[in-house]
Chains A and B, each alone.
Chain A
Amino acid sequence: MSDTPSSSSLVGRIGGLLMLALAIAYGIGGSQIEYAFASDPLGPRVVPVLLAIILAALCLLYLKSPGSTEAFPKGQLLVKIAAVPLLLFTSALLLEPAGFAVSIFLLTLGVGWIFGAPLRLAVVGAVGQAALWWFVFSYLLDVYLPAGRLFG
């Protein structure tokens, strides 16, 4: 799965630059925290600013030698990988309006299919998982899960 050394270190360096940008943004944000009083000499700003400096220094060290980085997926695999968070996102948004069972059915169906299950098996697996988890959590473990507003 390892990439060639040159592109691998390039990916690492891009990541390092992103983290350096994060350190700078976090440091600026930290230095602008508003507060009315502080009962200690440091206050709420100093630690974030210190952490930003430490992260920035570590990022510079990291940029010098990013070490081994796995190749990021391309093509069809990238589409598949992007689809999983998208399905999770959709399920999360559907959870309260459509209910746990529907939302989980769609998630397990989609993810099962992405993971290579034939559609028929994916449907059977999704129905089974939605029913199983609903039964286990709602009835056996008494964990609150939304039934959904769409179905009353």
Chain B
Amino acid sequence: MNLDYLWNGFTVALTMQNLLIGLVGCFIGTLVGALPAIGPINGIALLLPIAYTMGLPAESTMILLAAVYCGAEYGGRISSILLNVPGDAGAVMTALDGNPMARQGRAGEALMLSGLSSFVGGVFGAVGLALFAPLLAGLAIGFGPAEYFVLMVFAFATLGSMVGSQPVKTLIGCTLGLMLATVGLDATSGAYRFTFNEPELGDGIEFVVLVIGLFSVSEALLILEHQASGVTVIRELGRMTARLDDIRKSIGATLRGSVIGFIVGVLPGTGASVSSAVSYTTEKRISDTEGTFGKGDVRGLTAPEAANNATACGAFVPMLTLGVPGSGTTAVMLGALMLYNIQPGPMLITERPEVVGGLVASLFIGNVLLLLLNLPLVNIFARVLTVPNWLLVPGILVLSIVGVYSTHASVFSILLMLGIGVIGWMLRKAGFDMAPIILGFVLGHVMEVNLRNALAISGGDISILFQSKISIILWILAGAMAVMPLLVGWRKAKRMKTATS
């Protein structure tokens, strides 16, 4: 296996500028993750346009965003443990045992243990990414337009079956994203689609406008709505070291969580929320012989923490090698690459080794930096939880305005962001997840281009989509993914019926 790209990547990631960028990203990411409800996507969405307008090269921007992503996965545990409010979706399961530990006066131990398991999960994920990315890229080199189109169908089927409790809502979100991607000039025919004679829509909806609108503006409205429901910060952290006995007890859970997290991360369309839930329930099934899960069991804390960090790295595998994001956050990062006119796919490792290698190497370095930052500075990060909303939310809105305005100096973009934000808020109120919309938007253009190219090659014969072995396997996998929720529902209903009778 050729890992040259990785060694080159270390030379990129270890330059003084990129190390500093990585450190700043880790710090900001942990802060972003620690703040309840402001997840990695928000952090990345706000930083991306600023990094772009500052003229950072693509590899430095990716290192920054990856550091924010991993940092947020580390930081998410802080509010889960101290507030019982997850910092992001991936930290939901962390609260189940982390907060009870904090209530027992073991907040410091919980923070230390979860920091260590996050590190193990992150490094495991980075090793997996380094090994699997070239393998998958090699496999994907044989992909033509038809295979790519079917791959996108598979990504949506996976998303529909695994994200959220309501697949219909997820698929509606994907479709809305695909529809938004059709706005603007159609390069093949020169036709303007859904621009309403507005010149600023000629190039389509700006990616940053959509992301910031959907995540940051709608988030601000949700925070305003939810701020009435008071939460208590646990201020007594207790001893700030992990007991050897607890470390020993949690090794198995951490390793299992890492493996599950990485595998789930690699699956296109899923994210940390799925992996942490799967690892927690698996661990509970394996280890909870005394019924201690949910009452402050270290294994219930470490398994999902390791999983969500491994997922963050695993999600880069399909994004970098196939151009299909493994999570909502990597969907945003895919958009970031496209801002730099870089098309992710199997050729990316050979064409832009500094971007792929630099990013993978920065994940190794980032995890070490995060461990070094998180263990001694956890007290400082915990204090972030006391920043009042009246100071925090205006700050988020200012960053949103700057982020959108700085890319094209256009007031229209801010107004569009605002409109998207209000619609995003309504959708979130109705139980829709925003990640499928982003995924649909990011993949929409590529999906349409590949479908049209495939049909152009076949002269309009639709059977081209079912001809190659790869396409057939992907169709079968997509079908299986689509049927899975139905089977799970049927099994659950049958089990309930048996239990009642």
Residues of B within 8 A of A135 (CB): none
Q: Which of A51, A112, A142, A145 contacts B390 (CB 8 A)?
A: A112
A53-B188 Cα distance, complex, nearest whole Å:
23
Stretch of B90-98, B104-112, B425-433 with 4 or more beta carbons under 8 angstroms from chain A: B425-433
Q: Determine the residue in chain A with the shortest Cβ distance to B172.
A: A58
Across the interface, do B401 and A39 meet the contact criterion of CB distance under 8 Å? no
Contacts of B186 in A (CB 8 A): 33, 35, 44
- For chain B, residues 376 to 391, give those with C-beta under 8 angstroms from any C-beta of chain A: 388-391
Whether A42 and B452, one on each chain, are in contact in the complex, defined by CB atoms closer than 8 angstroms, is yes
Across-interface contacts of B401 in A (CB, < 8 A): 88, 91-92, 95, 104, 107
Instruction: Report B201-238 CB contacts with A as 1/0, cut-off 8 Å.
Output: 00000000000000001001100111101000000000
Bound Cα distance from A38 to B227, whole angstroms: 53
A126: chain B residues within 8 A (beta carbon): 394
Residues in B neighbouring A95, C-beta threshold 8 A: 401, 405, 411, 414
Cβ proximity bits A72-113 to B, threshold 8 Å, 1 near / 0 not: 110001001100110011011101100000001001100111
From residue A32, how far is it (CB to closest CB) to chain B in Å?
A: 10
Smallest CB gap from B175: residue in A: A55
Chain B 64-103 per-residue mask, 1 if CB under 8 angstroms from chain A, else 0? 0000000000000000000000000000000000000000
Q: Which residues of A contact B426 (CB under 8 A)?
A: 15
Across the interface, do A145 and B405 meet the contact criterion of CB distance under 8 Å? yes
Cβ B397 vs Cβ A35 within 8 A:
no
* Contact of B239 with A by CB under 8 A: no
Please give, as numbers and ranges, the residues of chain B lying within 8 Å of A113 by CB-CB distance: 390
Q: Decide: A85 and B422 in contact? CB cutoff 8 A.
A: yes
A150 within 8 A of B: no
Tell me the residues in window 110-135 of chain A with beta carbons closer than 8 Å to chain B beta carbons: 111-117, 121-122, 125-126, 129, 133
Residues of B within 8 A of A145 (CB): 402, 405-406
Please name all residues of chain A whose beta carbon is closer than 8 Å to the beta carbon of B191 when the two chains form the complex.
Answer: 33-36, 44
Tell me the complex Cα distance, A12–B430, Å.
6
Check B460 against A125 for contact (C-beta < 8 Å): no
Q: Decide yes or no: A93 and B193 within 8 Å by CB, A58-B172, A115-B390 being known contacts.
A: no
Residues of A within 8 A of B414 (CB): 88, 92, 95
The residue from B175, B193, B390, B409 contacting A144, defined by CB atoms under 8 A apart? B409
Q: How many A residues are at the interface, by size bracket?
A: 35 or more
Does A5 touch B at the CB level, under 8 Å?
no
A69 CA to B432 CA, complexed, in Å: 9
Total number of residue pairs linking A and B with CB closer than 8 Å: 199
A30 within 8 A of B: yes
**CB-CB nearest in chain B for A19:** B172
- Give Cα A113–Cα B400 distance, bound, in whole angstroms: 19
Check: B421 CB closer than 8 A to any chain A CB: yes
Contact A84 B224 (CB under 8 A): yes
Q: Does A41 contact B (CB under 8 A)?
A: yes
Q: Is A48 an interface residue (CB 8 A)?
A: yes
Rounded to whole angstroms, the CA-CA distance of A141 and B431 in the bound complex is 38
How many Å from the CB of A5 to the closest CB on chain B?
13
Nearest-CB residue, chain A, relative to B409: A144
Which residues in A have their C-beta under 8 angstroms from that of B224? 77, 80-81, 84, 114-115
Q: Taking each of B193, B194, B226, which has the highest tally of chain A beta carbons within 10 Å of its own beta carbon?
A: B193
Q: Determine the chain B residues whose CB is within 8 A of the CB of A93 once the complex forms.
A: 411
Nearest to A73 among chain B residues (CB) is: B225
Chain B residue nearest to A47 in the complex (CB): B448
Are A104 and B398 closer than 8 Å at their CB atoms?
Answer: yes
Task: Give the CA-CA distance A113 to B402 in the complex, in Å.
Answer: 21
Contacts of A137 in B (CB 8 A): 50, 402, 406
Q: Are A143 and B54 in contact (CB under 8 A)?
A: yes
**Is B389 a contact of A115 with CB atoms below 8 Å?**
yes
* Distance in angstroms between the alpha carbons of A115 and B228 in the assembled complex: 10
Identify which of B176-184, B242-250, B293-301, B493-501 touches chain A: B176-184
Question: A38 contacts B189, CB within 8 Å?
Answer: yes
CB-based contact B430/A111 at 8 Å: no
Q: Select one of A29, A34, A88, A116 contacting B418, CB under 8 A.
A: A88
Question: Does A17 sit at the interface, judged by CB under 8 A?
Answer: no
Beta-carbon nearest neighbor of B452 in chain A: A40
Contact of A129 with B176 in the complex, beta carbons under 8 Å? no
Indicate if A68 sits at the interface (CB-CB under 8 A): yes
- Listed in ascending order, the chain B residues whose CB lies under 8 Å from chain A are 50, 53-54, 165-166, 168-169, 171-172, 175-176, 178-179, 182, 186, 188-194, 217, 220-221, 224-227, 229, 388-391, 393-395, 397-399, 401-402, 405-406, 409, 411, 414-415, 418, 421-422, 426-427, 429-431, 448, 451-453, 455-456, 459-460
Instruction: List 8 A-B pairs, minimum CB-CB distance, nearest first.
Output: A41-B460, A35-B191, A117-B390, A108-B394, A115-B390, A92-B414, A40-B456, A44-B186
- If A43-B189, A108-B397, A141-B54 are given as contacts, then 18 extra A-B residue pairs at C-beta distance below 8 Å, sorted by A number, are A1-B229, A15-B427, A19-B172, A40-B188, A44-B193, A58-B168, A67-B166, A68-B431, A92-B401, A95-B405, A95-B411, A95-B414, A115-B224, A115-B390, A137-B406, A144-B53, A144-B409, A145-B406
